[in-house]
Chain A
Amino acid sequence: GENVEQHPSTLSVQEGDSAVIKCTYSDSASNYFPWYKQELGKGPQLIIDIRSNVGEKKDQRIAVTLNKTAKHFSLHITETQPEDSAVYFCAAGPYGDKVIFGPGTSLSVIP
């Protein structure tokens, strides 16, 4: 069945450094890859997404890259700030009417 793996599960970086989170997916038919940020006590919020006709997408300090051949995609956060500390989820789909979420990465930005 469909599966999305995500690494690392936890990540600590110094403020100002870059953070990279990587995901792989199993179904080559996937064509939609969103990333969600979940702050403590809140629901996940979409921060960026990419579709399979695009290899890279950037929005200010965050960027996502997609390698369809290898079936993996990555989130890059540059110049990290303490407010970037959160749990980040990748997802892939759609599989019918749903997307499958990765297990999440807990990012800590140390001031």
Chain B
Amino acid sequence: DTAVSQTPKYLVTQMGNDKSIKCEQNLGHDTMYWYKQDSKKFLKIMFSYNNKELIINETVPNRFSPKSPDKAHLNLHINSLELGDSAVYFCASSQTSGGEQYFGPGTRLTVT
């Protein structure tokens, strides 16, 4: 069973479009995260939710909007996509905030 799953795995879209990435964890964890990994492999946290409540909101353009319908799901919606949004986006979860994190397989977003 996949602990943290993301869909889609690949996403190719044009500038200006709006897209969503979905994440689900079946570990019973309270905290979920979104990370962006750029071409140099640097992992940068974007958002974190604890029990459906936003607890981390890093300096991210407001075109990015996370939504957590329940503590097992954390989705990421991106409006008006730009070339610089191209990256791999990872979802992760942990039992408690700041603890051991379990990462999903990533979604490679390519904006053309």
A residues within 8 Å of B by Cβ?
32, 34, 36, 38, 41-46, 49, 87, 89, 93-99, 101, 103-104, 106
Contact = CB atoms under 8 A, between A and B. Distances in A.
Most buried by A among B43, B45, B98, B100: B43
Interface of B: 4, 31, 33, 40-45, 48, 50, 55-56, 90, 92, 97-106
Contact of B97 (A36, A87, A89, A98): A98
A36 B43 CA distance: 11
A97 B31 CA distance: 9
* Interface secondary structure of B, over-half rule: strand
Contacts of B4: 43
B104 A96 contact: no
24 contacts: A32-B99, A34-B100, A41-B105, A42-B105, A43-B4, A43-B90, A44-B101, A45-B103, A46-B102, A87-B41, A93-B98, A96-B56, A97-B31, A97-B48, A97-B56, A98-B56, A98-B97, A98-B98, A99-B98, A99-B101, A101-B42, A103-B40, A103-B42, A106-B41
